Amino acid sequence: MLEAACRADDSPRADTTTSSVRRDPLPHGRRAVSRRAVLGGAAALTLPLLTGCAHHDEALAAPGPEVAILNGAMAAQQDLIAQYEAALGTHASLAKYVNPALAHHREQLALLRRYYVPGSGKGASAGPSLPSPQTHLVSRQPSRALASLRSAEGKAAVQCTTDAGKAGPGLAQLLASIGASEAAFAGTSGVPKQTLQPAKPSPLSTATLNSLQSALATEHAAIYGYGVLGARLTGSAQELATVYWDGHRARRDSLTTFLTEARQHPVAAAAAYKLPVKVTSSRSAAELAAKLEDDLVSSYVGLAAATDPRLREMGAYSAQEAMGRAVRWRAGAGLATAPASAFPGLPPAALAPKPTPGD
């Protein structure tokens, strides 16, 4: 929400930059302000009319945090695109890896631009003012160039988690989805571990409670599925499955605690689940594990739209973790690791935002 401050005097002020507000006279001594709105799903960032200031004080509004977050997200995508283009121009042999990632980042930048709504006041721009992309030096060794790209993806994913905790629910959900995509392109090395603040939200909205229950139900299914597929694995793959299984049990317990503290009845695990992949070999076991993790990506992207910022951050990070696990399973089975969509887990409605123009 954009913050506003009231002045004690009635002296006029000149129009400022497009990220500030423009004041035009209105009846009864009130002032109108321009705004930049950021919409994600049904969530909106708006600047309301300010009333009630003593002596009809003038309202001064600064750009809200979502405007800065959105601009930062667009600049990050712009830089990633430039880095991929530079790598491709130097190493044509990396096209198999670069082209899918490049296509996804272009889609993500395009959608982020649709979330941006400029103000209509004097001097308002038609779109965001972003810095020029950075100049990226590409290593002469393809393997090092690829490692640099994966590192950039990991750092971008970390920033998405941080921003999801600061943005409103709609934009946070979009950032969580983009972060999950970036986690996939970070490769089997995954995204750097992140330190999250303990989330003990209270009170919770009905939508947030539903998202928590959905995530818990998906964790129940994952735990059951890992129990089935583990029997078809041996050696390091079985050890990895055990580590992930333990991780899912710990996350199940955390979600159960959140719901219990909110005085809700956590959804119980079913006696059995219909699995999307029939496990007959180590390869099909890996396929099942990847599919279970994909389902968790969707559930946690949904949780990223929670009303509590700590849960938004947790949802974004958990979606990245699940994507990283899915990538590892697919890579081990010799399957394609790139996400099928540039926006994994994102609800279809969020792909077509209908923002309201600024005043």
Structure confidence by residue, pLDDT tens digits, 323-332:
999 999 999 9
Does 79 map to a domain? no
Compute φ and ψ for 204, nearest 5 degrees. -115, 145
For residue 326, tell me if it sits in a domain.
yes
**b vs e for 37-49, b when ≥16 Cβ sit within 10 Å of the residue's Cβ?**
bbbbbebbbbbee
Structure tokens at 64: 């809200």
In the numeric block, the tokens 């509590």 are attached to 308
From residue 172, alpha-carbon distances to 161, 210, 290, 315 in Å are: 9, 17, 24, 9
**Residue 277 within any structural domain of the chain:** yes
- Same-domain check for residues 45 and 154: no
Question: Whose CA is closest to 60, among 117, 26, 11?
Answer: 11
End residue of a domain, out of 15, 46, 64:
64
Residue 34 CB contacts under 8 Å (≥ 6 apart), including other chains: 21, 22, 47, 119, 120, 121, 124, 358, 359
Q: Structurally, how many domains does the chain consist of?
A: 2
Amino acid in position 213: Q
Structure-derived torsion over alpha carbons of residues 56, 62, 67, 71, reported in degrees to the nearest 10: 150
166 HSE (CA, 13 A, CB side): 15
Instruction: Look at residue 257 and tell me if it is in a domain.
Output: yes
List, as one string, the DSSP characters of 288-317.
HHHHHHHHHHHHHHHHTT-SSHHHHHHHHH
Q: What is the pLDDT of residue 59?
A: 36
pLDDT tens digits, 37-70: 333 333 333 323 222 333 333 333 344 568 889 9
pLDDT of residue 228: 96
Does 46 share its domain with 186?
no
Q: What pLDDT, on a 0 to 100 scale, did the predictor assign at position 207?
A: 92
- Closest by Cα among 284, 282, 325, 341 to 188: 325
Determine the Cα–Cα distance for residues 201 and 348; give it in Å rounded to an integer.
27
Residue 313 falls inside a structural domain: yes
- Looking at 49, 64, 79, which one is the last position of a domain? 64
In a domain, 85, yes or no: no
| Same domain for 32 and 173 | no
The answer to whether residue 78 sits within a structural domain is no
Residues with pLDDT less than 70, the chain? 1-65, 117-129, 197-202, 353-359
Letter string b/e over residues 315-325, b meaning 16 or more CB atoms within 10 A of that residue's CB = bbbbbbbbbbb
Q: What is the dihedral of CA 109, 300, 281, 270, to 10 degrees?
A: -150
pLDDT at 44: 36
Residues 274 and 177 in one domain: yes
Is residue 153 within 8 A of residue 320, CB to CB? The reply is no
Q: Please give the residue range of the domain that contains residue 8.
A: 4-64
Q: Domain with 213 in it: what CATH number? A: 1.20.1260.10
Return the pLDDT at 119.
55
Asked whether residue 190 is assigned to any structural domain, the reply reads yes
- Predicted confidence at residue 191, as pLDDT, reads 78
pLDDT value of position 167: 92
24 with 150, same domain? no
Tokens of 343: 């926006």
Among 44, 64, 84, give the residue marking a domain's end.
Answer: 64
DSSP alpha helix (H) spans, the chain: 65-90, 95-115, 142-166, 169-185, 206-229, 235-261, 282-303, 309-332
Tokens 């695990």 correspond to 269
Q: Which amino acid is it at 87?
A: A
